[in-house]
Structure 1
Amino acid sequence: ASAKLRAGAPDAARKLLTMAEGGPLSEFDQARAHLLRAQIAFASSRVSQTAPLLSAARGLVPLDAALARETFLDAISAAMFAGRLSADADVGAVARAAREALPETEGPRTADLLLRTLAVRFGTGYRDALPLAKRAVGRLLVEPDAGEVLRWSWLTSAVAADMWDDEGWAALAARHVRTARATGALSELPLALNSQVLVDLFAGALDAASLLTAEIPTVLEAAGGDLAPYGALTLAALKGDGPHAEQLIRSSLEDSAARGEGIGVSIAQWARAVLCNGAGKYERARQAADQAAAHTKDLAAVNWGLCELVEAAVRSGDRDTAVDALDRLDEATGGAGTDWALGVQARARALLGTGTAAETLYREAIERLARTRVRTELARAHLVYGEWLRRENRREDARAQLRTAHAMFTGFGAGAFAQRSGRELHALGERTVGRPAAAPTALTAQETQIAHLARDGLTNAEIGAELFISPHTVEWHLRKVFAKLGITSRRQLRSSLSDRPLAPAPA
């Protein structure tokens, strides 16, 4: 039953579990069955299973302390998903229960260190958890066991993002996807793909994010699971696709509320704040960001909400709200001390600053964020600095910053922010152009690889297995290949690709 669950077959897992429960079970096996039933329910719908998992964890303490620690981590995961909508136990209560039931251990297992990290994070606070969090991220990055990587990557990735570790977050998310694909762990793949989408969005890799979001529904259908469309709605928000983004946000808010998935509410409101800040609808962005930042125990999402709230509140003239949001943001960014953290901190402070002090902070934000992977944050620093310079009537300096911002947003495909920077440039008397269309025959590296495999006679399913993507995604790529090459069938690929070298496999 456990193996069926990992493979993304929850119905088969339930049937096997029912058969197992029909026979004589030891006390330990009864506890394992109780745990597995809650895990199946949680993996299938992400509806909060905090209470059943917490009960299972407590029952395992005298029987198997190691498995009890893992189960407390499952309960913490469930409580994190439930978030503000938790009806049984919040994540702080689960963390306290774990600390009371089990002695702290310095054991070598990733689960031991991760449980200590989260117990401190949700117990005594953010700053106290940072040293443990760094060790937990570092430990999983060198974990040789694929099962452990699958088991703890989502939680540890959330920890990395929460402590503003862009490199660790990106490495963990990429490894999670690779491992889930390689082992066929369909139950894990949707979460892994959504994590990677968020990493790609912060990196400005919106085209890569689009490929993954196209795959997620297929994986969810195959795995028999359900999950809010975190990747799709945040992608639409950053692209500035207003009607589509709003539709996804509204449906996600409704579905998350129905399932009791509080983290879905936070992510949807954060996406709305990004969408509205990009479009210059600052009052609406302020309202959404205030909601996104309302639940203080949402790892990472609360920090992202605070960043949007400072900008939206400043732009809508609500200085008191902006100052309060900055104070809360400083607590997290100051403790983390990474370039990502201190870069967004400097940008937020600059938005509230004046004169030379503000300019120094804008420059610091750009300098720090330029050393990170979070290119969209860097582009936004150039944008707000350029807007400030224009208001200071330093027109040439403003043009330089706004041109950089516009070029970056246009390159990313972040339409609303590109238009916002374009409007600023137009006010300076400068014309802008949109994102250049790709040359009709310019295949991407992945399209080239898929085209060559199709030319060599592989089916969509075989190509998908080769590249660890779904047949649906292969078909989507091939349609683009045919359009770019001006052909209509696979037979024509041989002549069309005869002079094209095979691109390297995508990283």
Structure 2
Amino acid sequence: MHMVVGSAAVAGVRDGIERMSRSSLPAGDFLIESAELLSRAVPSVAACVAMLDPATAIVTGVTKQGALAGRNESDLHWARIEYGEDDPTAVRTMVAGGRTAIGVSHEFGGAAERSLRMAELLTPVFGFTDEARVVFADRTGAWGAISMFRGSDDRAFDEEDLACLEAVVPAVTRGIRGGLLTQTRMPRDAAEGASAVVIVDEEDRVARMTPGARTKIDALARGAATADPLTVLHSLVQRARRAEPDASPVRIRLRTPDGCWLVLSAERLEGGRGRDIIVTIDDARPHDIVDLVAAAFGLTARERDVVALVLRGRDTREIASTLFLSPYTVQDHLKAIFDKAGVTSRRQLVARVYFDHYAPH
């Protein structure tokens, strides 16, 4: 593959992603379109596009492009390495270190095979010899990631490639956040809202699931290029396996293509075999997603505190007393919140959070 791309093409890709980030595309569609644009500036033979829960950096949806499209047979192996092993190039490690773009070969001094993911999966199964990873994050969290791959006929990703990937991080992050807020919630049958349970055994096989669980899992798919929807579940399970025995359940929030918010949580099965994991899948309630929605609006930590109290019906004096602020400071926070959320009153704010992102069946 010829890998030389002109600076004009790179600038055009950046401008295109910048414009698209303000177009109100649903988050998943926006991220896929961004990956396709980005491949013009940073060519690759394949790419893997992932949405993340900003609170945990666990994948909530995966789509594959190029040579990876339809290749789902190794998704469980990927999840075991990504969330069950320690790797300096894992997404959660990048997030913890504040890094947004890396090349595996570049990271290991030209020896990409030192990466467990490359040595055990990407090279022997797919023939890839290098991977570039970019995480779309800001002060509110990590919202998505793209992995791009090159083969033996290609040069490794270099500093110029990584600089190009880093340059689009702010625009792509903004587009993902905005896309989560603008996505339309489609009407659903009441039966679809029932809680579902999946038991995963010590061999990572689905041992049992309640009626309706398969429907909820299949609802995560975004089309033919989507990874096996169980990839999301297995990623969660691998994190739960690494948790301390008395730790709280590992949890992710995600928005399905039909606009429904789901909460998935995983923990060791009490009273069961030692390494069995129970995963519950529920429709999200307002308290499950209010912090995520507030983060998507770009609110500061203090502004999120104010929103949480507004949603509980507290007036200005009560908010001021609870947060040890003056009423004037609360009003300043409310003005900033209204501007970021695109509303002009508390009533509109409550409606924006409640009815846009959660509505009774």
Specify the TM-score bucket, using the shorter chain as the normaliser. 0.3 to 0.5
Which structure has the bigger radius of gyration? 1
What TM-score, normalized to structure 2?
A: 0.33
Name the one with the larger helix percent: 1
The structure whose RCO (Cα within 8 Å, separation 6+) is larger is 2
What TM-score, normalized to structure 1?
A: 0.26
Name the one with the larger strand percent: 2
